[in-house]
Structure 1
Amino acid sequence: MGLDRYRWITKQTEIEHLLGNNQLEPRVVITIAVKDNETGLVVPHPITHFIREKYEFKGKSLSSQLNPARQIVKFFNYINEQIILKNPDFLQLQEKGIKGLTLIHGARYITSCTEKKCQYGYVRGHIERYLVHFYDYLLKMKLLDEEIELDTYITRSGDEAIISPFLDPTLDTQYPPTDGPIKQKLKDFGDDPKKKNQLVYEFLEEARRVSPEIAFGIGLQIFGGLRRGEVVNLTVGSVSTDFLRGSNFVAVLDNQHRLFTHLKDITKEQVKRPRLQPILPSDYLKELYDAHMKLNVKVKKMNPHAFFVDRKGNTISGGTYERKFAQVKKAYLDRLNESIGRYSDWRMLDGAIWGTHIGRGIFTNYLYGRGLDDRQMAIVRGDKSTESAKSYIDYRNAISNFQDAMEVFSTNEILDAGKDIVKKWDWEVFSKR
């Protein structure tokens, strides 16, 4: 029975909805279903819950439910076509189903829409946006095997937005042309170690000035790779009193039952991998720790277990941490913009999308600079698999090879050596050594 016999469809169905007073009310709902093209049989699919959870239950109109449903149906039909064509990137989905979905499948779909000459605004504003919401739903429902981290940031208008994971350069997602530049996701503060260290120091100093209560937390992200939820889950017992004087670790544990019982939504307070997290040695981080401890002494905590509290003693949640980070980011960008000779730094940081996850990216780059392989990096980063670390290493190696090749191209005598330069370029870029 071939896969081409079936097709994903959207369907509007009128149902009788049971109200609280036991009265029935007619209601039209959007359903994602699978249709048997030979028999005409239509079977609703459980993934319809995505539309219910993300749109219907939040009071969205019927059209606001129909649009994402149609996009997901197009995505699924594209996957079916790729499986029929025996595309090796998609064959695992025959056995694993939705659990086997990875970012590469979404990236390939966006690229296919670009190749069909879809407009930039449609690809970014509809196709990609709904895909991001869909992957976010799958992650929260624990329906994916791949370990995916969706980063968020606070826009200048104060709204929270998810950074599209498809902007990751390792995915090679192709977008339609646009009059303006596409803002990429920033993973690090640049490739120049000296410049990066300067930006890290300045950013942390800005944090000490604007939101000193989270400055040490940002430091732990940069020097220890902690995620936002892992930072706010730290308790007074998670960080040793001899931190970086004898102990180079913090205990990353799920302490939601101690710290966040007052929250209804705890999606920003999740701990992915409970572990003993090693921290890179840093005298400056030690200084941030000492300053943090002095701040904590001055505040009367509402919760004695909390390690990160605001000036009123309230436990800092993941959402609060994110907003305070956004304030630090804005203040730092404003300062760079007003500083003579810092335009290129301001342009790099302002021209990209980044949030709290930037610290984990900087930490990863520090590890890469110390020569760790993908397995070692996965262990130190607290990853479930080596895939995230491996893709990062592959990308960094590609950049390094490209820079080497450019250096060769610019420094060799080129008057009568064109062929030799091409050979050298090919060897540098595509060498398997």
Structure 2
Amino acid sequence: MSNVVELQNKNQNIKFFVNPVWIDYVVDGNGKVKEKKHICLIAIKNIEKVTYINHHLSDFIIDKWGLKSFNTQKKHATNTVKFLNFLIHRYPALKINNLIDLTVSQGTMYLNWLGTTGVSQDTVKDAERTLIHFYVWGIKKSIFTQVDITEFKEQISEQNKVYFQSPFQVIYPQKKVKELEHVIPFEFIPVFLEIATIHAPRIALGIYLQIFGGLRVSEVLNIKRTQITKTLVSKEFILQIENQNFRTDLKEHASVKKIRTQAVLDINGWGSTLLRKHLNIYQSKSTNALFLNSSDKPMSGRSYRQYFEKCKDRFISQLETSEQIDHRIVAQHLKNIKWSTHIGRGTFTNIVANEASNPYEIAHMRGDSSLESALSYMVSTSRIHQKIEEKLETMHESYIPNLIVRKGNKQ
């Protein structure tokens, strides 16, 4: 395996890339595929001829994370591919003719270059973790002959897990405050839902599930029609969140981060009304997916985000034309700052944080495995329980149901 990959200057017309593929994972005795698995490979393409092949460096990803989730594989494959392309295209003067020439100093050079490209400190550290795995794997496979395993000091964690210390001399970029909005102002939630029901009705229920259940987009898109039920006592929706692999025809698919049972609040009956309307309108004979695209196929993450962007633009536009000055101020803020579908989960966390007595309650409501995400909201959110409760009771109690009835009558 010494000639795993040539990196000579004459090969600057090649480029590595991440190639997601579906494989037959479980096959019955009759040869029928019962389950597919999404895996991430490393491929190499000829830029001029637009041809590619899966590269045997994919063994690195499969060996290390073959049993992990697709997203984990993709993260490490992406980090590896960026490093390889750096060696070929960014600094061919390094004169690395083959990966057998690779040294620790080139890894250090890459990580320090990455830190100058405007990425966060966490991004550089994440890339560094992948490179540690990559180097150790290559040394053990007798590929990186210029690197000694002793440069990667073996350590034992508190959980008795073996890990290797980084030999790279990295100057990390300074931590920056993310210019990202995580919360829709409470009083504007009804307006945002109204815009969704009018301009993007296919995802109006999904936006509701995010705002009042804290779901991620991937989790919304993995719900079956039969996996959402309503409790009579607590007036909540109960959802079964798990991977469905609805779109094995796509290289990229929405993958659930944590399999779980998730509760969604039914505020003033809005959720029930949206669900009933959604189930009546969006039906398909070929799939049991709750969210469908215009072709009656399970909706992809890309389609969902396109619908969301439409809602976002309409929402800002409506606030900009408002007669109230505070609405126009909010519009300018939302126009100048980044925010996306994840704002629904942030809004839900903000609502819960105002009423929860401890971070464990927030983590439970969000479906978190750790308290780290919940703790940040506990610190930053003022605890005005009574005001939140009053808002929940009076916040346009019949607004959304009446809107849907009016819209239905017009149709």
Using the alignment, how far apart are the partners of 2:198 and 2:93 within structure 1? 44
- Give 1:352 shift: 1.7
Q: Which residue of 2 aligns with 1:340?
A: 323
Using the alignment, how far apart are the partners of 2:239 and 2:354 within structure 1? 25
- Give 1:279 shift: 1.3
- Give 1:187 shift: 1.2
Partners of 2:243 and 2:255 within 8 A in 1: no
Shift in alpha-carbon separation, 1:319–1:250, aligned structure 2, 3 A? farther
Using the alignment, how far apart are the partners of 1:370 and 1:386 within structure 2? 17
Partners of 2:111 and 2:127 within 8 A in 1: no
- Over residues 82-132 of structure 1, what are the superposed CA-to-partner deviations in whole Å (9 max), with x where a residue is unaligned? xxxxxxxxxxxxxxxxxxxxxxxxxxxx8xxxxxxxxxxx6xxx1426853
| 2:242 pairs with 1:251 | no
- Give 1:355 shift: 0.5
1:166-185 alignment runs, 5 A limit = 173-174=175-176, 184-185=179-180
Q: Which residue of 2 aligns with 1:327?
A: 310
Using the alignment, how far apart are the partners of 1:367 and 1:69 within structure 2? 44
| 2:147 pairs with 1:73 | no
Shift in alpha-carbon separation, 1:379–1:62, aligned structure 2, 3 A? same
Shift in alpha-carbon separation, 1:361–1:61, aligned structure 2, 3 A? same
| 2:193 pairs with 1:223 | no
Q: Which residue of 2 aligns with 1:61?
A: 89
Question: Which of 235, 247, 265 does residue 260 from structure 1 map onto?
Answer: 247
Q: Which residue of 1 aligns with 2:184?
A: 189
Unmatched tracts of structure 1, length 5 or more? 1-13, 31-45, 77-109, 111-121, 146-171, 176-182, 191-195, 401-433
Deviating more after overlay: 307-316 vs 356-365 = 307-316
- The count of aligned residue pairs is 272
Using the alignment, how far apart are the partners of 1:234 and 1:142 within structure 2? 35
Q: Which residue of 1 aligns with 2:347?
A: 362
Q: Which residue of 1 aligns with 2:361?
A: 376
Partners of 2:243 and 2:259 within 8 A in 1: no
Using the alignment, how far apart are the partners of 2:78 and 2:278 within structure 1? 42
Secondary structure of residue in 1 paired with 2:277: helix
- Over residues 343-391 of structure 1, what are the superposed CA-to-partner deviations in whole Å (9 max), with x where a residue is unaligned? 1120222122111110111111111121331112111111111111112
Secondary structure of residue in 2 paired with 1:128: coil
Deviating more after overlay: 55-64 vs 201-210 = 55-64
Partners of 1:236 and 1:305 within 8 A in 2: yes
2:287 aligned partner, one-letter code: P
RMSD: 4.4
Question: Which of 306, 312, 315 does residue 298 from structure 2 map onto?
Answer: 315
Using the alignment, how far apart are the partners of 2:301 and 2:128 within structure 1? 19
Using the alignment, how far apart are the partners of 1:393 and 1:371 within structure 2? 9
2:111 aligned partner, one-letter code: V
Q: Which residue of 1 aligns with 2:225?
A: 236
- Over residues 376-415 of structure 1, what are the superposed CA-to-partner deviations in whole Å (9 max), with x where a residue is unaligned? 2111111111111112212225x99xxxxxxxxxxxxxxx
- Over residues 27-49 of structure 1, what are the superposed CA-to-partner deviations in whole Å (9 max), with x where a residue is unaligned? 5899xxxxxxxxxxxxxxx9996
Q: Which residue of 1 aligns with 2:393?
A: none
- Over residues 136-193 of structure 1, what are the superposed CA-to-partner deviations in whole Å (9 max), with x where a residue is unaligned? 8979x999x9xxxxxxxxxxxxxxxxxxxxxxxxxx9457xxxxxxx72111124xxx
Shift in alpha-carbon separation, 1:291–1:65, aligned structure 2, 3 A? farther
Secondary structure of residue in 2 paired with 1:276: strand
Shift in alpha-carbon separation, 1:173–1:310, aligned structure 2, 3 A? same
Using the alignment, how far apart are the partners of 2:133 and 2:183 within structure 1? 28
Using the alignment, how far apart are the partners of 1:243 and 1:229 within structure 2? 24
Question: Which of 260, 266, 276 does residue 281 from structure 1 map onto?
Answer: 266
Unmatched tracts of structure 2, length 5 or more? 16-63, 65-74, 95-105, 135-156, 158-173, 385-411
| 2:195 pairs with 1:206 | yes
Using the alignment, how far apart are the partners of 1:59 and 1:318 within structure 2? 32
Shift in alpha-carbon separation, 1:261–1:343, aligned structure 2, 3 A? same
Higher helix share: 1
Question: Which of 280, 301, 305 does residue 294 from structure 1 map onto?
Answer: 280
In the superposition, the TM-score normalised over structure 1's length comes to: 0.53
In the superposition, the TM-score normalised over structure 2's length comes to: 0.55
Using the alignment, how far apart are the partners of 2:108 and 2:339 within structure 1? 30
- Give 1:60 shift: 7.8
Partners of 1:233 and 1:255 within 8 A in 2: yes
Shift in alpha-carbon separation, 1:391–1:316, aligned structure 2, 3 A? same
Shift in alpha-carbon separation, 1:138–1:274, aligned structure 2, 3 A? farther
Using the alignment, how far apart are the partners of 1:187 and 1:377 within structure 2? 16
| 2:341 pairs with 1:353 | no
Using the alignment, how far apart are the partners of 2:10 and 2:111 within structure 1? 25
% identity of equivalent residues: 25
Partners of 1:225 and 1:360 within 8 A in 2: yes
Secondary structure of residue in 2 paired with 1:255: coil
